Amino acid sequence: MPGGIFNRLRGMFGGAPAMVPRAPDGMRIYAIGDIHGRDDLLAALLGLIEADAATAAPGTRKVLIFLGDYVDRGLQSRAVIDRLTGDFAPGFERVFLKGNHELALRQFLDDAGFGRTWKYYGGLETLHSYGIKELTLSDDPGDFERARAHFREIMPDKHLEFLDNLALSAEFGDYFFVHAGVRPGIALARQIEEDLLWIREDFLDSTSSYGKVIVHGHTPREAVEFRVNRIGVDTGAYMTGVLTALVLEGEGRRLIQTGVAPAN
């Protein structure tokens, strides 16, 4: 089990054993990776999570943390936001983090000129999910403005409120949750939005200790990446059909995934 990484560090250098990261006592955390417009997978994963949560001890605090990138690339972006702004998973606390794709969507709503970039970055699929077809066969600047105006007109207020109130990070116990990662050498409290939403190689290649284990999405991999200093849970759901939830409870870590048989 990946948690064994920490156990193997114990005693290697003598002195005190290596710290094993813990979730807060009495809490079970489900950290969900990048959804990217796959409401079908989100619905399936939430069903698996609710069934899993039913096994928790009475009084356990159950927390859902969504790591961002709810929209773009997949064709069900509107349905994803509808679900996340609705009444789902009763009995769970919910934390919604901001991804770079939410930033891009919001930027297009304010600036039609950004549409050319966003369209080929997964935005066309999001527009189609809202029934906006002005850009399907056009890159004309006027059509970008018409699409932006149409999008603003039909965007539900609760969707816009959702996008405007996403958190940049969350901390529970020995874990720090964020969309992309953090800048090595900078205290967690001093991280800037650009890095939290966009960073890749400088973070992914670093062996730095951050004081907490960073749980992130943003960079898709075929399998969840467990490192001493970070856990990457983006399994490319829109391409692979595998949407992942990392489950943290006490010192325990395990996975719940769509399209993957549960481990025996």
pLDDT score recorded for residue 261? 65
Q: Residue 17's pLDDT band (boundaries 50, 70, 90)? A: very low
Check residue 18 and give its pLDDT: 59
Q: Is the pLDDT of residue 252 over 90?
A: yes
Comparison of pLDDT for 252 and 263, the residue scoring more:
252
- Tens of pLDDT, residues 196-218: 999 999 999 999 999 999 999 99
Q: How confident is the model at residue 13 (pLDDT cuts 50, 70, 90)?
A: very low
| Band (6; pLDDT cuts 50, 70, 90) | very low
**Which has the minimum average pLDDT: 14-23, 236-245, 252-261?**
14-23
Give Cβ neighbours of residue 47 (< 8 Å, ≥ 6 apart): none
* Coil vs helix vs strand at 29: strand
Q: Return d(Cα 254, Cα 43) in angstroms, integer.
A: 20
Structure letter (DSSP) for residue 16? S
Band of residue 15 on the pLDDT scale cut at 50, 70, 90: very low
Task: Give residue 253's pLDDT.
Answer: 98
Query: Residues 86-107: what's their mean pLDDT?
Result: 97
Please choose, from the candidates 67, 74, 193, the residue with its C-alpha nearest in 3D space to the C-alpha of residue 126: 74
Q: Which long-range contacts (CB under 8 A, 24 or more apart) does 43-48 make?
A: 43/83, 44/243, 44/258, 45/243, 45/245, 45/256, 45/257, 45/258, 46/88, 46/89, 48/245, 48/256, 48/258
Helix (H) / strand (E) containing 62: strand 61-66
Instruction: For residues 66-89, give the mean pLDDT.
Output: 97
Q: Between vectors from CA 197 to CA 138 and to CA 148, what angle results, nearest 5°?
A: 25
pLDDT at position 145 is 96
Maximum distance among all Cα pairs of the chain, rounded to whole angstroms: 68
pLDDT of residue 260: 76
Q: Is the pLDDT of residue 255 over 80?
A: yes
Distance CA(228)–CA(230), nearest Å, equals: 6
In angstroms, rounded to a whole number, what is the distance separating the alpha carbons of residues 124 and 254? 35
| Residue 5 in this model has a pLDDT that exceeds 70 | no
- The pTM score is 0.92
> Is the pLDDT confidence value at 4 over 60?
no
pLDDT at 225: 98
Round the average pLDDT of the chain to a whole number and report it: 92
| 243, 42 contact by CB (below 8 A) | yes
Between 161 and 264, whose confidence is greater? 161
pLDDT for 64 beyond 90: yes
Instruction: Judge whether 125 and 75 are in contact, CB under 8 Å.
Output: yes
**Within 13 A of 127's CA, how many CA atoms are on the CB side?**
29
CA distance 59 to 103: 36
Cα 177 from Cα 230, distance rounded (Å): 10
